[in-house]
């Protein structure tokens, strides 16, 4: 299979057709070999517009979803960005080309180590890897221009807002299964507000608390 040709088709048929037109975002996707970030059993499906599963019930988001989320962040080359959920490292690799500094946080040590190995060939000196439980306790109160949440949340924990600049942007897939939406969160009149971008669904990055029943 000619993966370089498949990558070019992904950009034309899966990204441009859903409105991903930002030249810098398209260029970043063109530079990353998506086939290197999927499990070997799914390598031939690397450029199919679908989620691809890997360990710990995690998924690699479809190219169309990833592209729209990253474009919505309106990233600048001077931005300091936080990725919550390193996952396979694919979005990490794309983000690293778009911003000045990227911190990526992953709670599963084996997932983080595997992503590091995949990212070695990029020589991405601007990426800082953090092993944390998403409580963000190890970030030393740094503030970020943008946050990319690589997975779904039922709602956004307050701790995440604490590390986002007042002028910052955040994207995440939010909601309750099966009704979820990709959302852009920005600050308006001093209040964080979400804007629904499109409907989609993904496995929870942080599982919601179990429902309790009272009799």
- What's the Cα-to-Cα distance from 144 to each of 3, 132, 148, 158, 184, rounded to whole Å? 34, 17, 11, 15, 15
**C-alpha of 167 from chain center:** 20
Among 105-114, 116-125, 138-147, 201-210, top mean pLDDT goes to: 105-114
Average confidence (pLDDT) over 82-110? 95
- What's the pTM? 0.93
Contact between 159 and 133 (Cβ < 8 Å)? no
Between 55 and 138, where is the model more confident?
A: 55
The pLDDT of residue 210: 58
Could you read off the pLDDT of 8-28 as tens digits, one per residue? 999 999 999 999 999 999 999
**Which SS3 state, helix, strand or coil, does residue 214 take?**
coil
Contact between 63 and 28 (Cβ < 8 Å)? no
Average confidence (pLDDT) over 38-56? 92
CATH 3.40.50.150 for domain 3-200 = yes
């Amino acid at each position: 299979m000619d993966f370089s040709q498949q990558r070019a088709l992904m950009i034309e048929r899966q990204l441009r057709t859903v409105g991903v037109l930002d030249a810098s975002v398209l260029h970043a996707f063109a530079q990353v070999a998506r086939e290197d970030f999927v499990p070997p059993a799914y390598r031939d499906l690397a450029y199919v517009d679908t989620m691809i599963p890997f360990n710990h019930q995690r998924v690699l988001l479809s190219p169309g979803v990833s592209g729209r989320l990253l474009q919505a962040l309106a990233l600048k080359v001077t931005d300091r960005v936080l990725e919550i959920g390193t996952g396979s490292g694919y979005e990490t690799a794309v983000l690293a080309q778009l911003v000045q500094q990227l911190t990526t946080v992953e709670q599963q040590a084996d997932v983080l180590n595997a992503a590091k190995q995949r990212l070695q060939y990029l020589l991405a000196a601007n990426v800082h890897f953090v092993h944390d439980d998403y409580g963000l306790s190890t970030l030393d109160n740094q503030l970020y221009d943008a946050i990319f949440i690589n997975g779904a949340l039922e709602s956004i924990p307050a701790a995440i807002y604490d590390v986002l600049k007042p002028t910052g942007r955040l994207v995440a897939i939010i909601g309750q299964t099966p009704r979820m939406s990709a959302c852009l969160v920005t600050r308006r009149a001093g209040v964080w507000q979400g804007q629904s971008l499109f409907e989609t669904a993904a496995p929870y990055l942080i599982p919601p608390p179990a429902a309790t029943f009272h009799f």
